[in-house]
Amino acid sequence: MANKKITFDPEAGVGYPCNFIINGGANFTGTFEVVDTSNTGYNFSTTNAVGIATTTGWTGSSQMTKSVSIGSTGFPVATFSVGIDTTSATAGKITISLGSTATRTLSEGRYVYDVIVSSGATFYRIVDGTILVQPGISSAI
């Protein structure tokens, strides 16, 4: 499991850069501790991206693809499960995960990914980066 602390600044307009390594055939979980620009845990339970109280709630999505270069098909090769902790006002945690069955089918190489969160009709790319997939060598008996 990889843990990263990131700052969510909706005014910035870009995702926080974060890179991972996935071992083929193993469970993968990446957890982001999200803080606002004053280093306080981001309140995903009742606050929208500009700090205004909301009842809309937050949703998240995350995918990885081989490339986003010109001429690339850009089809996702994997879609992560995304969890947003809304149980605590200061939790500020987002988790992405892929099970071992999904990572087993990934080809070795470098991929790009992002994590998008939304509050109502507004979407924010909160994290983006690269993922290096290493082939599985051993298997559980």
3-class secondary structure, 101:
helix
- At residue 63, the pLDDT reads 93
Determine the straight-line distance between the first and last CA of the chain, rounded to whole angstroms.
22
2-133 CATH: 2.60.40
Q: Where are the domains of the chain?
A: 2-133
Rounded to an integer, what distance in angstroms lies between the CA atom of residue 20 and that of residue 15? 15
Mean pLDDT of 126-130: 92
Mean pLDDT of 34-53: 71
Residue 55 has pLDDT above 80, yes or no: no
